[in-house]
Amino acid sequence: MSVDDNIKVFVLSSGVVVIETGGTFSAEKYDDIYSPPNTANILSESPLPSVLNELGLGFTEQYDITQVKRQDSKLFSVSDLQIIYEHLKEKIFKNVVIIHGTDALIDNTNLFQHIIDTDHKNNFEPNIVFTGAYIPIANGFDQTDGLNNLKLAIEIAGKKTKEYCSLVLNGKDYDNPKGLEKRPVPNAREEGTLPYEVARVQP
């Protein structure tokens, strides 16, 4: 695994920690956002520094989690998520945004919550917001949804007082990710909307 493959950790001046794990957010440009590749091809250089600069957000520290690589969300294993959790716990990072691919974003948000809940020695109660993008940053700041999603996720992570995992997609905060699913938007191409939406299928 090369250094560029490693998951990136950015500690913002506000104290919020942003972890970039790959996914569409960090993928190569999509020629057709309504027909994305089955697996995101992750850029070797993280786009996150340029995104934070665009948002006017500084960071005081940046380093890698070397045991897990930046990749398509569908390729993440339970052990990968466990490593990220243990790192947060070791560093006592309590206000965290995790940028993740959207295909497995909902499932892995719930799985991360399960990892926290089943840590019987846990005296660590983080506020974690998962987010991502349907359109890569590489498509441009004026095209991607990742910019607004990340901005909202950082705002929420800095304000949250409840200790659980939530997610931000489609510019919305979903406090309870259980019972959610990602769905294609009908006629999205014709109407020029985002290609996917989040729907609640269970209460």
Domain ranges of the chain: 3-200
Distance (Å, rounded) from C-alpha 179 to C-alpha 203? 6
pLDDT at 203: 64
Contact 137, 25 (CB under 8 A): yes
The helix (run of H) or strand (run of E) holding residue 117 is helix 105-117
Residues in the chain, total: 203
Q: What is the DSSP letter of 27?
A: B
Residue type, 100: H
Neighbour count for residue 30 (Cβ, 10 Å):
21
Compute CA distances 42 → 20, 27, 30, 75, 134, whole Å: 11, 4, 11, 12, 14
Q: CA-to-CA distance for 51 and 141, rounded, in angstroms? A: 8
- Is the pLDDT at 199 greater than 80, yes or no? yes
Res. 163: pLDDT tops 70: no
Instruction: Name the 3-class secondary structure at 107.
Output: helix
What CATH architecture is 3-200? 3-Layer(aba) Sandwich (3.40)
Residue-wise pLDDT for 26-46, tens only, equals 999 999 999 999 999 999 999
The per-type count for the chain, helices as H runs and strands as E runs, is: 5, 9
Instruction: Indicate whether 167 pLDDT > 50.
Output: yes
Distances (CA, A) of 200 to 38, 98, 101, 135: 24, 21, 19, 22
Number of Cα atoms under 13 Å in the Cβ half of residue 94: 9
The 10s digit of each residue's pLDDT in 66-109 is 999 999 999 999 999 999 999 999 999 989 999 999 999 999 99
| φ, ψ of residue 83 in degrees (nearest 5) | -60, -45
Side chain identity, residue 153: A
Residue 116 vs residues 92, 111, 163: alpha-carbon distances, Å:
13, 9, 10
